[in-house]
Amino acid sequence: MAASLNVKFGRAVRSFRSAAGYSQEAFADEIKVHRTYMGTLERGKANPTLDMIARIAAGLEISLATLFEAVETGRTDAG
């Protein structure tokens, strides 16, 4: 079965976050979300809002288009 969008989103975030040199905890602190939320999100168990998605992209210093291209292709330039 193909991975759900939420799973693909979590994988892309994890990939960019890791490539940026952040631990999950450090990144959560950086964008001021709860540490457990980042874990939940990276495992594809969250359904983030637009505002939250934007906060994540800003923390990763990538555009939303870049983030979603990675979500949809499964590839990150960084990874």
Structure tokens at 18: 């890791």
Residue 51 within binding range of its own copies, rule CB under 8 A: yes
d(CA 45, CA 64): 20
Residue 3 within binding range of its own copies, rule CB under 8 A: no
Residues whose CB is less than 8 angstroms from the CB of residue 61 and which lie 6 or more positions away in sequence, other chains included: 20
Structure tokens at 30: 């950086």
Residue number, 30 or 69, with CB nearest to its own copies: 69
Task: Find the binder of its own copies among 54, 74, 75, 76 (CB under 8 A).
Answer: 54
Task: Find the binder of its own copies among 3, 5, 19, 26 (CB under 8 A).
Answer: 5
